[in-house]
A and B are shown apart, each in its own frame.
Chain A
Amino acid sequence: MRPGFADPVLDAQAAFRAVMEAMARPGRVLRLAAPPAPPPPLAPAAAAALLALADAETPLWTDAPEEARGWIAFHSGAPLLAAPGEAEFLLATAAMPPLGLLRAGSDEAPQEGATLILQVEALRPGAGWRLSGPGIAEEHRLAVCGLPADFPAQWAANAARFPRGVDLVLAAGDALAAFPRTLRIEEGG
């Protein structure tokens, strides 16, 4: 088994700060200074976000294989679920689970919506989608490689049920970006 954060306190705080910054500035790509070295196929940024957020009180779902599941269970202590529908945090290393099936919270308790940490192939700022919404002054551009073709439609459906919905953290290598549920995505241009 591999170790988690080299410095469990400071590195976890730095990862938490990075996720918070990414959520506050949707679409901005942040690089983590000292992510852990998780077993494959986990991306360092995805593992760092998970270890910073998940603990024994957050049911977790992941599609990762056995060795990675063991690593997550040991270092985060989060209970692993078989079905994605009940999880508070999800880590998808391959296919994205349909956003409509995940926990979206209720109008009274929208904070109970799930957070999906999704590993993608690459995050390229400056091209691709036009992002707008709270946290973006005018417009931000980001190209994401490795999302399903119907992602913009799924995301529009997710945004339409505000304040309920799912928040997304995209991880590629040691970089991450966040799509909070308030983000609007326009294609092309």
Chain B
Amino acid sequence: MKKLLLGVVLLIALVFAMPLVLSDFGINLATEIYIMAIFAMSLGLIMGYAGMVSLGHAGFFGIGAYTVAVIGQHVANTYLLLLLSVVISGLIALVTGAVFIRTSKFYFLMITLAFGQLLYVLFWQLKPWTGGADGMSVSAILNFGFGEIVSPNGFYYVMGIAFIIFYILLRLFVESPAGKITKGIMENEARMSALGYNVRVYKLLAYTLSGALAGLAGALYAYFNVFVSPDLSGWMFSGQVMVMVIIGGVGTLLGPALGASVFIYLQNFMSTYTERWPMVMGALLVALVLAGKGGLIHWLQHGKSLFVARKRTGEAVSQQPVKKGEAVH
């Protein structure tokens, strides 16, 4: 508990220190990164702790975003809208998940892809409500009861704090008995099944939590971007968030968040420098794999342990052979 507290204090310091060094646009970008980090963590939860790789996760993001956009035309209460986003996406995750988890691995990947496309087409076809392929503006305004939040700084702190809250909640889940059992199932399903655990219930629990959180990220995004379109549920976006999780580090919570920040940052600035940015992006991905250390978070870990080993002795050195996944859960 103590270590979580310390970590959280550091994250809070990070969130509150950044505006001091950031430009206006930097704050805007950081806000978006916090939202994407929540989204990436939600996928990281099922990928890294339940072994389910989804290529339709943007579907839930879209549900959350459209909930705010569509229902927000009639309902103004922010708490209610956020709650609705979470409940709707969570329920849909529960129902679809019950069917999807019968499949495994690659088949799971593809059935979730189909799910995401289904929603994409739904948002596209329901033009009277969703504005169709042209998208729709979001009229709901973020208001937690302390006045309307419209300034970039206001958004920045809301999203930063949301990121920290959901990080804490996810960490609590991961370290709870249910979280540990889920991870045990990922590592050896047959054994956990033999031990008498209902494997499906735990997988479904993780999937539902993950879907609900993705929906929440989508809802926050709708407030932030004030525009939604079917692309939010498209498989391209699902693929991107999957890449964020993998480059950040599967099997961790902060890894996906880190992956999200690096990905968004690169996507935003690389095209400024070169028209050939897809090639640079591709080369970076290949290089990351060839380096063979797993996600970026494992790199940090590795770098830090080398650094600490040089400065101190004993304790840090004994820690040095970092086994990925294990040291960083």
Say whether A associates with B: no
Binding site for A on B (CB under 8 A): none
